[in-house]
Structure 1
């Protein structure tokens, strides 16, 4: 088991080299953040305009509807731009020229599959919130565990949507679950490893924001706040790109046995050993 976790960290380190070769991919998750933020702002303005703010907290139907809308927005936008990164990563692994525009075009071609998965994800997420509020014995911990299970089962859904295009939700879910079962140790470690690798930068950015808000004044506060915000956003963007690069490479290995991208230079005798 320790070999699996060590392998996952090695994959994260190698994925940084892939990102350095194609830093322009960072524009895709940045656009995702802008799109999600804009959509949430529009929903918030609509809630205030129609006087629904109180109902969000007191009316279950409105609250669950707002929950579904929020989950659907974040899921659809996130999957769309992640699909663009996966497409670009796959082309780069194959030695082909690519760009963010190519990725966006590929994601647009898969828009129906993306929309279906986003609706399924939002529905399941909303049902878990409903169950937590209304079903005895289902609490926050249970919902968190179920959410985690769903997240692991759908870990490779975006690569499946982009590369396989089966058009079947059941088939895509089965392929994602099968790929995760094959590489579960490396997948989990890589996912956590990316966050841990960038944690110092994230904490630095948060610290600068706190200092700017609590103790700094004047121009110093604005500069610290701006730099802190940039660091936090940068880590979010890089984390998203690296995560999709790793998932794309792991999915290729799990399904075809190919060691591409961040896996290509790793020792084949030390990676993906079976327990």
Structure 2
């Protein structure tokens, strides 16, 4: 989509996750207690993560907010969903769709939505962060798939924005992204209650790719001086040309 690889789906093995950020989203969900979870996905694409949730936590009720109905129809036709799934796709954008959800209706809210290779501004503002916090259950977690340049200043401001609604935070990314060596993705984990940090550390330590976790003082240092976005937010930086890294 928009000139960049968007999804990878393995129809006969939905537990095979290829993209690094999808692996990081999955390991954050794996850190939660076992059993079915109520998951809301903002951004549907190939429905890779909803398929993974269904395979690893059967019976989980899932809502997918994906405004591109033609894309959803294509995915359903070419890569059908498994039998007896509980995945429901709604043709609506993320902010509009989240506003229609009930208070405390989700164990997990995953924000993984891009337009033109960038996180839309409305999914980076305080209005959206507070809507996500309203939808989450007390022990739930919200996950954002983010993309930024070396230095991660946009991510730092997004972290400060989410902190206005969900004070417990952690950031997951490959070491080369955390060290500012290239443009890349990171996954923000946020909650109203304390995060399962020790479990997250274990999951990160056994990740397929060299992966790091920033939380507590380490995350504070990473985002030092960052100011929250306003109500409507700002889009993430323009990605580099496909196949190239943007080096500082």
Same fold (TM over 0.5): no
Question: Which structure features the higher share of strand residues?
Answer: 2
Question: Which structure features the higher share of helix residues?
Answer: 1
Larger radius of gyration: 1
**Structure-2-length-normalised TM-score:** 0.24
Larger RCO, structures 1/2 (Cα 8 Å, 6+ apart): 1
